[in-house]
């Protein structure tokens, strides 16, 4: 409020004709103003909490967590792909370097060969970035929208773009594309078999009673490189010759997969799938395969004792949610530690 307002009130209190009734009225007015301000603040906070509660699990709305993620990106010199979309046209993204993170905004350095005019100021931009964890093999992908506040040209050719601090980060472009590179204790069990009736029975035993009951070897022949709701990328721990003899991977061929996904301090939750080989890499030393989920096996069996399966349309919801939970948990733990 203006200082003159408070000065007038002070003068009124000291005036000769100022009465107790007048003082009561002024105090009531001030109390009412304070009460309205408090109610407004409460309603604003309440709406923010409700918005956060309704937000999809891939949205990060906590400013402190957003700052922690962007700080991690800055420390690791993460690249930010920036694009601008207007009402009448769409511009291709360009790679930028994240050079500063502040409470009110972030600063990117544009490529030296891009000439950006003043018309960029005030426009809405979209950004994509990947942020590594302390283990450099693990990355998480994010995107966000923001407003370009200004473009600054420095002598020597450098161009800097200042963006308003993002209100939210979105993990991945779509839920089913969000993937992580898990630690061994996050995916302690991965078993792959060719599709046969006998192997279906083994998979059923694995889902029902675990690897020991199914008489599976303690050392798995594959490890997970990354996982999403759409499938897994696995690397064989065997030689190329052994993989060829035991599995005979070929594009489009189907396999059975037993997968154990663990939460902190809990036994792994076991899942069974029919997967299809969608890509593969073989350099005669290592074999990597991309396996897309085709069907999920349920714990129920048919009249012949065979496990019942259901199709996976685009993404398996249980694996997808597990991947999201692991991303959020790891970043929250990092924020608490640091």
Do residues 267 and 261 touch, judged by C-beta distance below 8 A? no
Mean pLDDT score, 37-55:
61
Quote the CA–CA distance of 95 and 79 in Å, as a whole number. Answer: 6
pLDDT reported for residue 109: 92
Claim to verify: residue 320 and residue 191 sit in the same structural domain = yes
Claim to verify: residue 93 and residue 149 sit in the same structural domain = yes
Q: Which pTM was predicted?
A: 0.53
Claim to verify: residue 159 and residue 205 sit in the same structural domain = no
Please say if the pLDDT value at position 90 is more than 70: no
User: What is the percentage of the chain residues whose pLDDT exceeds 90?
Assistant: 23
Is 24 within the bounds of a domain?
no
pLDDT reported for residue 104: 93
Claim to verify: residue 295 and residue 207 sit in the same structural domain = yes
Is 249 within the bounds of a domain?
yes
Is 141 within the bounds of a domain?
yes
Please say if the pLDDT value at position 43 is more than 50: yes
How many of the other CB atoms lie within 10 Å of CB of 90? 10
Of 118, 146, 173, the last residue of a domain is: 173
Q: What is the CATH number of the domain that holds 134?
A: 2.30.110.10
| Backbone phi and psi for residue 87, each to the nearest 5 degrees, phi listed first | -70, -25
Is 287 within the bounds of a domain?
yes
Is 151 within the bounds of a domain?
yes
pLDDT per position as a tens digit, 18-42:
555 566 766 776 777 777 776 666 6
Claim to verify: residue 160 and residue 224 sit in the same structural domain = no
Of 125, 149, 173, the last residue of a domain is: 173
SS3 of residue 178 by DSSP: coil
Claim to verify: residue 186 and residue 288 sit in the same structural domain = yes
Claim to verify: residue 187 and residue 309 sit in the same structural domain = yes
Please say if the pLDDT value at position 227 is more than 90: yes
Claim to verify: residue 156 and residue 198 sit in the same structural domain = no
pLDDT per position as a tens digit, 2-17:
555 445 545 554 555 5
SS3 of residue 272 by DSSP: strand
Is 18 within the bounds of a domain?
no
Burial 282-298 (b: 16+ CB within 10 A, else e): eeeeebbbbbbbbbbbe
DSSP H helical segments within the chain, as ranges? 3-14, 20-54, 63-75, 197-209, 240-246, 317-337
Quote the CA–CA distance of 120 and 336 in Å, as a whole number. Answer: 37
Claim to verify: residue 307 and residue 277 sit in the same structural domain = yes
Quote the CA–CA distance of 175 and 92 in Å, as a whole number. Answer: 23
Question: 301: Cβ–Cβ under 8 A, 6 or more apart, which residues?
Answer: 204, 307, 308
SS3 of residue 155 by DSSP: coil
Claim to verify: residue 191 and residue 329 sit in the same structural domain = yes
Is 241 within the bounds of a domain?
yes
Residue 298 belongs to domain spanning: 180-337
Claim to verify: residue 244 and residue 134 sit in the same structural domain = no
Of 173, 188, 213, the last residue of a domain is: 173
What is the total count of domains within the chain?
Answer: 2
CA 312 to the chain's CA centroid:
22
Claim to verify: residue 204 and residue 161 sit in the same structural domain = no
């Amino acid at each position: 409020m203006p200082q003159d307002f408070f000065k007038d009130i002070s003068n009124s209190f000291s005036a000769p004709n100022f009465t107790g009734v007048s003082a009561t009225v002024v105090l009531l007015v001030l109390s009412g103003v304070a009460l309205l301000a408090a109610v407004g603040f409460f309603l604003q906070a309440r709406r923010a909490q409700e918005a956060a509660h309704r937000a999809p699990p891939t949205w990060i709305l906590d400013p402190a967590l957003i700052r922690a993620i962007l700080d991690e990106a800055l420390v690791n010199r993460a690249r930010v792909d920036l694009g601008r979309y207007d009402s009448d046209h769409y511009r291709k993204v360009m790679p930028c370097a994240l050079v500063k993170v502040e409470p009110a905004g972030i600063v990117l350095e544009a490529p030296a060969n891009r000439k950006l005019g003043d018309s960029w100021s005030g426009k809405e931009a979209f950004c994509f970035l990947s942020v590594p964890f302390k283990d450099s093999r693990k990355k998480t992908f994010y995107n966000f929208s923001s407003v370009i506040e200004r473009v600054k040209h420095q002598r020597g050719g450098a161009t800097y773009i200042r963006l308003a601090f993002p209100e939210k980060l979105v993990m991945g472009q779509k839920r089913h594309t969000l993937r992580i590179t898990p630690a061994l204790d996050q995916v302690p069990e991965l078993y792959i078999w060719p599709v046969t009736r006998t192997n279906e029975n083994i998979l059923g035993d694995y889902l029902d009673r675990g690897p020991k009951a199914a008489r599976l070897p303690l050392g798995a022949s594959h490890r997970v490189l990354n996982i999403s709701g759409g499938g897994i990328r696995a690397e064989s721990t065997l030689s190329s010759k052994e993989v060829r003899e035991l599995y005979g991977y070929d594009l489009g061929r189907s396999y059975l997969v037993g997968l154990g996904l663990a939460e902190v301090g809990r036994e792994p939750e076991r899942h069974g799938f029919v997967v299809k080989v969608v890509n593969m890499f073989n350099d005669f030393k290592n074999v990597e395969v991309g396996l897309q989920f085709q069907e999920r096996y349920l714990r129920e069996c048919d009249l012949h004792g065979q496990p019942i399966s259901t199709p996976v349309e685009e993404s398996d919801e249980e694996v997808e949610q597990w991947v999201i939970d692991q991303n959020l948990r790891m970043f929250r733990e990092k924020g608490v530690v640091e």
